[in-house]
Structure 1
Amino acid sequence: MSIPRVVIVGRPNVGKSSILNWLAGKLVSVVDPTSGVTRDRVTYLMHHRGRYFEVVDTGGMGVEDTDDLTADVERQIEVGLQDADVILFVVDGKTGVVPLDKLVADRLRKIEKDCVLVVNKCDSTKTDAEVPEFLGLAPNAPVIVTSVIGGRNRKELLDLVVEQLPPAAEDEEQSAQSETSDPLMKLAIVGRRNVGKSTFINSLANEERVIVSEVAGTTRDSIDVRFDVDEQSFLAIDTPGVRKKKSLANDIEFYGLVRAQKSIRRADVVLMFFDASQTISKVDKQLVDEINERSKPCIFVVNKWDLGLEEDMTTEKWAEYLFETFASMRHVPVAFITAMDGKNIRQLINLAQAIFKQAHERVGTGELNRIVQAAVDNRNPPYRRNRRPKIFFATQVATDPPTIVLKVNDPKLFEPSWKRYLLGFLRESTPFEEVPIRLYFRSRVRDDEDEA
């Protein structure tokens, strides 16, 4: 039996996303006064009074989406309703009952689900007098007044949710632990708008979890989707498409940029998506710079490869194009997929697992010093200021990313070109062929220098 789902529904701007964030105690869903901000189903796993349950935010019912995605949003709401064990029907205590509330109520009456009527935005007890007018929307449902701003009745709402949950299954604890346990690998899927990230996510999840549309910028929340490969659990983080900073027209798009950067920081491996039919843009460079700065293992994913083939493109040409553009990322593997038909997706996940493993490898100090000595024997660091650079020993001090410290006589004596040579030599001689390596040159303590 799966973990119970509590689905939050209501017309636009009644505070559904705010309630999810409030219950979760963190920013899970984008909150903005613009109607229709939440389009996909956004979820968060809660634990209260010994019960695990998933809280699901949905788009506003009855909203006319500005990007002509109304049907897609409605389909996501419908899927959420069908999967729900408990429904939180949220209304606005300040505005009173409006016609759209009645339309939502009519829709909920047609499905046999346990429901809680949440009269939100009751920031003062003065608004409580208006609550009776809402009772006709859900005559048989328990009612609670809430205020996210005022912090009113959060625990009481959670108590009420737990009371409405179906009886706990014997394996609920085990299922919840499976859901909450750390996945083997977290994959961030990033890229500019409309490169096929959501299509890829849906292929992984085997369900239409994220709206897929030709409208650029559809996904506005970062959405975590768990999937299993060979009985191992992984987490895919889908992020909003990013546009150039100067084109950030509103707060929603700003949130998208921030969330893409946050997703990169969270990830074990970043899948940087490109469109095979489009040239590399400033946005692509901005995202790759973020990946590079964070020293994240990365795969360049060229999606819509069927379109590239139609233009007589070859994998060799595209790979060289990427490496000419991102000279410092020549170690990054390149994958070519067509997410629409699932082509090469399994191979991509296998590749991600391989570089994830690389990032967590360790090389013993003895072996590492033999490799560094071989690099020096092959090409001595040139003299500088009439002094010869010396490396006394090397040690790996961390993984993810692999971090190597070299104790030397003077770090300033080592030319940047020789450092790049050493980095390349290490890639060829260690397991770190396709992942970032952090390399630090440090002076030995004075006593050691005196002994040298």
Structure 2
Amino acid sequence: MKIKDKTTIVRDAVKEFAVVSIVGRQNVGKSTLFNTIIKQRKAIVDEHPGLTRDVVSYMLQYRDVSFIINDTPGLDLEPDATLSEDIKQVAFHHLQSTDVFVLLFEKPDIASYDYELLELVRKFNKPYIIAINKIDHKEDMECLPNFYELGREFIPISALHKRNIDLLLDTIVTNLPHKKQKTVEIDCKIALVGRPNSGKSTLLNAFLGYQRAVVSEIPGTTRDSIDETFKFHGKTIMIIDTAGIRRESRIDNTIEYYAVVRSKEAIAKADIVIHLIDATSGITETDKKIADIIMESHKPTVLAINKWDCIEKDHTTFDNYKDRIIFKYYRATDFPIISISALQKLRIHKLLQTALEINTRAKQKVETSKINVILENVQKRHVMPLLGGELKIYYATQTSSSPPVIRLFVNKPELFRKDVSRFLEKTLQQALNWHGIPIVFEVSGRK
């Protein structure tokens, strides 16, 4: 019997902040302007038109005023273009909640679709600012009279060379309906990672209760990493939906390369990683590679077996499935494994609750005496792997959290091999309830 989660995720955690959206045709420089404003390479930029598919958001603080700024897809998509209607649907959802529009045109002249965009923005009855982009050189100013027929003041800018960006931001702040000086305090950042089509964007949408990310059966639909913030059980959570990670040998273009780079950056900035595995495919070599990337970042992790609704099962199915995963990838024993259906919203709240519990444990600081008692008992029982000499641990202390870093003082650091590290990690994870939390060891000789 399928039982859906009946609890709901509490309101959007950032509704109190004004929203600014950059809109325009494809390739007018929206993503470049977005990156310039936030001073990060968050949105992928390329000459290929229609690169941005999802709305990319960022909480910006400028002159002590905080607001959300959105990079939106180009809306001049052909009706038969790939994912055209889905992209527009997600974009329009965000436009409806926009407080100030930045309508971005480009030199040398007004394009026919610019008039349609202008009319569209006016229908929202919200403040809008016109910016003319790609005024990169002094001679480019000569084309500005072509925009006078708009009958409205505009700001010439160069997103590439960062010209007049402060003027644009000052104008935005002046038009904000309300000005908040505080920012959102995030309790937990969770990155959703996995192979293409493992269900990451579907899970993001399930958490939020609406179509935030474009979803399709086309592998690689998500290109940018998408951040969204909401409340759950009194905690403010940021979910980061990432592009699917392929094996390096299958990355065949620049766009996909940078999408994977963004995914790795999302893992690095996350507190917790949810690694989605497609239940219909099982764990693959690419999944193991992704797990290795997560392990290299020392991030607490939950394995989510998605599309569980597609599996024929009985009371032994899940246990047998877990055994097969562990057989193929032994490090899977380190992490909680939860079966879910993002599409049917099965056990997604259990998944969130587990992630929050792990995040809380990962931030704990354990008393030095407790760690040393555990390690002393291990040495007394003579169960530690030995090869080429006996390793003696004189003293241990935790120097950092999330992930926990344990500083060890030993007789011979060269004897602290991978098998010893693995043994002690499993021992401490079990003794300290650190399941799902990798441990970093720093080893020094006795001083």
What is the TM-score normalised by the length of structure 2? 0.90
CA distance in 2, matches of 1:410, 1:288: 31
1:135 Cα offset (Å): 3.3
Deviation at 1:266, TM superposition (A): 0.8
Runs of 5+ unmatched residues, structure 2: 1-14
Inter-CA distance 403–159: structure 2 relative to 1 (3 Å threshold): closer
Matches within 5 A, 1:64-79: 64=78, 68-79=82-93
Match of 1:7 in 2: 21
- Where does residue 245 of structure 1 map in the other structure? 248
Equivalent of residue 425 in structure 2, options 419, 423, 434 = 423
Question: C-alpha separation between the residues in 2 aligned to 1:196 and 1:389?
Answer: 46
Opposite residue 309 of structure 1, the aligned amino acid is E
Matched residue, 2:6: none
Amino acid at match of 2:325: L
1-side partners of 2:83 and 2:313: how far apart?
A: 29
- Residue 150 (structure 1) aligns with: 161
> What is the CA–CA distance in structure 2 between the aligned matches of 1:33 and 1:425, rounded to whole Å?
52
SS at match of 2:167: helix
Amino acid at match of 1:431: N
Cα shift at 1:390: 2.5
2:3 matched residue in structure 1: none
Give the counterpart letter for 2:114 in structure 1. D
Of 273-282 and 66-75, the range deviating more from structure 2: 66-75
How far off its partner does 1:417 sit? 4.3
1:99 paired residue number: 112
**TM-score normalized with structure 1 length:** 0.89
Shift of 1:201: 0.8
Residues 401 and 383 of structure 1: is their aligned pair in 2 closer, same or farther, counting only changes over 3 Å? closer
- Matched ranges for 1:42-81 at <5 A: 42-64=56-78, 68-81=82-95
Q: CA deviation at 1:314?
A: 1.5
CA contact (8 A) 1:361 1:431 kept: no
Matched, 1:401 2:412: no
Aligned 8 A contact 1:272 1:301 in 2: yes
Identity, % of aligned positions: 32
> Which of the numbers 424, 436, 439 marks the counterpart of 1:434?
436
Cα deviation, residue 127, structure 1 = 2.1
The answer to whether the 8 Å contact 1:36/1:65 transfers is no
> 2:343 is paired with a residue of what secondary structure?
helix
Code of the residue aligned with 1:156 in structure 2: it is L
Tell me which of 372, 377, 380 is aligned to 1:374.
377
Residue number among 283, 286, 290 corresponding to 1:287 in the alignment: 290
1:27 to 38, 41, 46: 41
CA distance, structure 2, for counterparts of residue 235 and residue 7 of structure 1: 20
Q: CA, structure 1 residues 438+45, in 2 after alignment: closer, same or farther (shift >3 Å)?
A: closer
Length, aligned pairs only: 433
Q: Which of residues 89, 108, 119 is equivalent to 2:121?
A: 108
**1:77-112 Cα shifts (integer Å, max 9, x gaps):** 222321122211111113x22222233233334332
Confirm or deny: 8 A CA contact 1:67 1:215 kept in the other structure.
Answer: no
User: Following TM superposition, by how much is the alpha carbon of 1:69 offset from its aligned partner in structure 2, in angstroms?
Assistant: 0.6
Q: Deviations over 1:332-353 (max 9, x none)?
A: 1101111112110111111111
> Aligned partners of 2:77, 2:32: CA distance in 1, in Å?
18
Q: CA 1:326–1:93 in structure 2 vs 1: closer, same or farther (change >3 Å)?
A: same
Secondary structure of the residue that 1:317 maps to in structure 2?
Answer: helix
User: CA RMSD for the aligned pairs?
Assistant: 2.3
Query: What amino acid maps onto 1:150 in structure 2?
Result: H
The Cα of 1:46 is off from its aligned counterpart by 2.5
Amino acid at match of 1:437: I
Contact 2:53 2:73 in 1 (8 A): yes
> 2:301 corresponds to which residue?
298
Determine if the alignment matches structure 1 residue 86 to structure 2 residue 88.
no
Q: 1:417 to 1:348 in 2, by over 3 A?
A: same
Mean Cα displacement is larger for which, 23-32 or 278-287?
278-287
Q: Quick one: which of 134, 137, 146 aligns to 1:121?
A: 134
- Whether the 8 Å CA contact 2:384–2:423 is kept in 1: the answer is no
What does residue 449 of structure 1 align with? none
Partner of 2:7: none
SS across alignment from 1:330: helix
The SS at the match of 1:343 is coil
Structure-2 change in CA distance of 1:120 and 1:309 (3 Å): same
Q: Could you tell me which residue of structure 1 aligns to residue 198 of structure 2? A: 195
Which has more radius of gyration?
A: 1
